[in-house]
Amino acid sequence: MAVSSSSSLLLLFLVFGFAAATKDVLLGGKTDAWKIPSESDSLNKWAQSVRFQIGDHLIWKYEAGKDSVLQVTKEDYVSCNISNPIKQYNDGNTKVRFDHSGPYYYISGEKGHCEKGQKLTIVVMSPRGGKSPTPGAAISPAVAPSPAEVAGPGPAVAPAPTSAATVLHGGGVFVAIGVIVAMWLF
């Protein structure tokens, strides 16, 4: 009895401890990722593989004076306009904290680099873990799908359940880790 209740307590601490932890992430997982990429969307592909949450930090390493990081609006991100950054960093060791959910847009401050693909979108998950409510998921069966939706093979619908599933899956992993550690301890 005593063992089982302390196990559950430990489990709770483990689950909440992991859930509350924020992380420091090095851009691209390496120190020289902030440069013109060989594949134009490789930075964003990397970014999509990381689950950024509020409180997480992203760290850019680059040579100070040779490059810089500009946080810009979506419009300036798309057009690679470096003339009105929201924030500007050029110290070579830039650490940004994400204090709200949603998209963040970054481009290189060096002329011509953004056009060659040195740009990055980070989407920070909402506190509940989802990127946003999924409009498609809530539509009742009474609403007839548009011809485009009927005709399409349907891959556009696929991402909707994934975010919820990922969250559940993530929780499951922590619970599993907790169970394994608890079993090992007792």
Ligand X SMILES: *[C@@H]1O[C@H](CO)[C@@H](O)[C@H](O)[C@H]1NC(C)=O
Question: Interface residues with ligand X (CB under 6 A)?
Answer: 79, 81, 83-84
Minimum CB distance to ligand X smaller for 114 or for 122: 114
Minimum CB distance to ligand X smaller for 69 or for 125: 69
β-pair type (24-26, 119-125): unpaired
Q: How far is the CB of 99 from ligand X (least distance, A)?
A: 25
Minimum CB distance to ligand X smaller for 42 or for 73: 73
37 DSSP β-pair partners: none
Helix (H) or strand (E) holding 29: none
Tokens representing 5 are: 């209740």
Tokens representing 79 are: 């057009």
Residue number, nearest CB to ligand X = 81
Q: How far is the CB of 75 from ligand X (least distance, A)?
A: 8
Minimum CB distance to ligand X smaller for 8 or for 84: 84
Q: How far is the CB of 70 from ligand X (least distance, A)?
A: 12
CA dihedral 18, 23, 28, 32 (to 10 degrees): -140
β-pair type (93-97, 57-61): antiparallel
